[in-house]
Copies of this chain bind each other. A is one copy, B any other.
Amino acid sequence: MYTVTQIAKDSGITPHTVRHYSRIGLLRPNRNPENGYRTFSPNDKGRLQFIRRARLLGFSLDEVAEIFRLADLGKMPCVFVRASLDARIAANRREIERLKKLQKRMERAQRAWAVDTDPASGDTICQLIESFENSA
């Protein structure tokens, strides 16, 4: 049996995160009837490790909850897990592309502004700002 801080340290997370998982039902610790403290079993610890591994693979807490729900029903969550993973891989690919495009836009702006450090062109230093002022 572990306290919230013990199980948190063992798993490399904060006690607050453990409480968070408990509040949303991913963990179901018992309570010490004397003081209301949460008490975690080795089984809880396994669940917590599973949550952490799933998070590292990009699964959301909602997906973890669904996996637990299926497992509790005695169903193999594998089909769901695979579908989730496939969807996340595709979504993450799109997100990476989106950020790369953003990166290019930002670097383009950075270069444009770098060129204008020449004091001779002092009135076009902040093109972003000016494009705003011009349109106002």
Contacts and interface: CB of A to CB of B under 8 A. Distances in A.
- Max count, chain B CB within 10 A of own CB: residue among A78, A93, A105, A132: A132
Contacts of A71: 129
A132 B93 contact: no
Interface of A is mostly: helix
A96 interface: yes
Given A89-B110, A126-B81, A46 B132 contact: yes
Interface in A25-46: 42-43, 45-46
Interface of A: 42-43, 45-47, 49-50, 53-54, 56-58, 67, 71, 76-78, 81-82, 85-86, 88-89, 92-93, 95-96, 99-100, 102-103, 105-107, 109-110, 113, 125-126, 128-129, 131-133, 135-136
